[in-house]
A = this chain, B = another copy of it.
């Protein structure tokens, strides 16, 4: 491995120059006028895979943007890693908040600023450069098989991804999926993420009367849907922060003692966290730490409220309707559809007959986790330790990455989230950036990953 690492070290500056070309392509999948750029980024990705020595490189059509595929499958009997990432990027508004233009990649203080630097071109390119170094230094040979699966619709909800995975199970078959599309735990603290929360999202609409009424003439005679909505929502959680929907916790996988012990060791400062968020006080389900609440416990949140008069001043309206967007973050082994059924039944029970109730199921996503002690998780941890010179922490995340569940279900494959971004990387905001030290260490870690995972076979 020394030769590989030496090669990576020697070519450090070239990698940055190449990455700049990649980042200069404004492949914004959400904006139709950027369709040619999205295509150009797909082609650029394919060329980069070819240049690294991957085989069978091609663009595979989908009803949307093409998937870029490439593989190296010349290690029969050895494990196969599937690398997943995306070449499309977020929009850039508001443009005036960027220090330098989003598609003119600029290095400042060891960080490269550009849209897509962290999310996700930089992290995709990191894995591509590891393959290149390995093949160049090991006589064109890898100790295992690898596949690259880079999509172009992640920033618009990966709308065609599930179908694609389902219809390409053979091409995508692997032993483990490696995804680098997330931040590390903190600056200087590399991490492996092995669990994500799921989601069940709803809209509640209550109607009290045919139209808005004068609150003087009618106040007191009919139920006020905004008040009823408040009553209904208030019944979703108790004072201790526990969700009151009957059966809600039935399928929650308890935190293992090993996990709790590992997370207690994490350098997490509640006071700093609270101050950064600007919250007067932290609050969550009693009996759990903040990290446990966010990573391993489900929650009920109100995402939006709208009713009646919301402008300046005082309008004495008795609203006809009231609307709430609410969602539950789910943890293994809660199922979004089952939770939706439980929620709907409880909602119907607690909503009085004085209003008409309409519940819309908006969106669902399954929670996911690879076992805390899974061998691939641990192998990735060792690779990171070699790349970063520091043992990673093992964490879960509170958010959702739906594709991970798809891989689990359709391919029956565990995923390892090996992200080298930073919490302040501004992934969907102005001044998105990637630390070039992390990028460089990530290339080395990615190369060590072959060795570590090959060693498991």
Binding site for B on A (CB under 8 A): 197, 199, 201, 203, 208-211, 213-224, 226-227, 229-237, 241, 273-274, 277-285, 290, 293-294, 297-310, 313-319, 322-325, 327, 329, 352-356, 362-363, 397-400
Q: Is the CB of B327 within 8 A of A316?
A: yes
Contacts of A397 in B (CB 8 A): 216-217
Known contacts being A201-B316, A218-B294, is A354 close to B280, with CB within 8 Å? yes
The number of times this chain is found in the oligomer is 2
Interface centre among A231, A273, A290 (most CB of B within 10 A): A231
Pairs A–B under 8 Å by Cβ, sample size 6: A220-B329, A224-B301, A233-B234, A304-B310, A306-B306, A314-B362
Contacts of A302 in B (CB 8 A): 224, 226-227, 230, 307-308, 319, 322
Q: Is the CB of B399 within 8 A of A214?
A: yes
In the complex, A307 Cα to B230 Cα: how many Å? 12
Known contacts being A279-B223, A354-B280, is A304 close to B317, with CB within 8 Å? yes
Contacts of A329 in B (CB 8 A): 215-216, 219-220
Q: Is the CB of A305 within 8 A of B303?
A: no
Q: Is the CB of A297 within 8 A of B220?
A: yes
Contacts of A309 in B (CB 8 A): 303-304, 325
Contacts of A221 in B (CB 8 A): 273, 282-284, 290, 293-294, 398
Beyond the given pairs A224-B301, A229-B230, 4 more chain A to chain B contacts, judged by CB atoms under 8 angstroms and listed by A's residue number, are A281-B353, A283-B352, A303-B316, A310-B323
In the complex, A316 Cα to B201 Cα: how many Å? 8
CB distance from A14 to the nearest CB of B (A): 35
Interface centre among A241, A279, A282 (most CB of B within 10 A): A279
Q: Is the CB of B208 within 8 A of A279?
A: yes
CB distance from A337 to the nearest CB of B (A): 16
Q: Is the CB of B317 within 8 A of A303?
A: yes
CB distance from A289 to the nearest CB of B (A): 10
Contacts of A210 in B (CB 8 A): 277-279
Known contacts being A222-B283, A325-B309, is A227 close to B237, with CB within 8 Å? yes
Partner of A307, one of B199, B304, B356, B400: B304
Contacts of A234 in B (CB 8 A): 227, 230-231, 233-235
In the complex, A230 Cα to B350 Cα: how many Å? 14
Contacts of A226 in B (CB 8 A): 233, 302-305, 324
Q: Is the CB of A215 within 8 A of B301?
A: yes
In the complex, A235 Cα to B234 Cα: how many Å? 9
CB distance from A236 to the nearest CB of B (A): 8
In the complex, A31 Cα to B409 Cα: how many Å? 63
- Nearest B residue to A236 via CB reads B227
Contacts of A220 in B (CB 8 A): 241, 284-285, 293-294, 297-299, 301, 329, 398
In the complex, A316 Cα to B328 Cα: how many Å? 10
In the complex, A235 Cα to B230 Cα: how many Å? 9
In the complex, A281 Cα to B278 Cα: how many Å? 43
In the complex, A327 Cα to B227 Cα: how many Å? 12
CB distance from A273 to the nearest CB of B (A): 8
In the complex, A306 Cα to B233 Cα: how many Å? 14
Q: Is the CB of A319 within 8 A of B290?
A: no
In the complex, A214 Cα to B329 Cα: how many Å? 11
In the complex, A140 Cα to B45 Cα: how many Å? 99
Q: Is the CB of B216 within 8 A of A199?
A: yes
Interface centre among A203, A314, A362 (most CB of B within 10 A): A314
Contacts of A319 in B (CB 8 A): 302-304
Q: Is the CB of B277 within 8 A of A213?
A: yes
Partner of A215, one of B217, B327, B353: B327
Q: Is the CB of B303 within 8 A of A306?
A: no
Contacts of A218 in B (CB 8 A): 277, 294, 398
Contacts of A318 in B (CB 8 A): 301, 303
CB distance from A88 to the nearest CB of B (A): 19
In the complex, A223 Cα to B290 Cα: how many Å? 12
Interface centre among A285, A308, A356 (most CB of B within 10 A): A308
Contacts of A197 in B (CB 8 A): 216
Contacts of A224 in B (CB 8 A): 301-302
- Nearest B residue to A323 via CB reads B310
In the complex, A327 Cα to B219 Cα: how many Å? 10
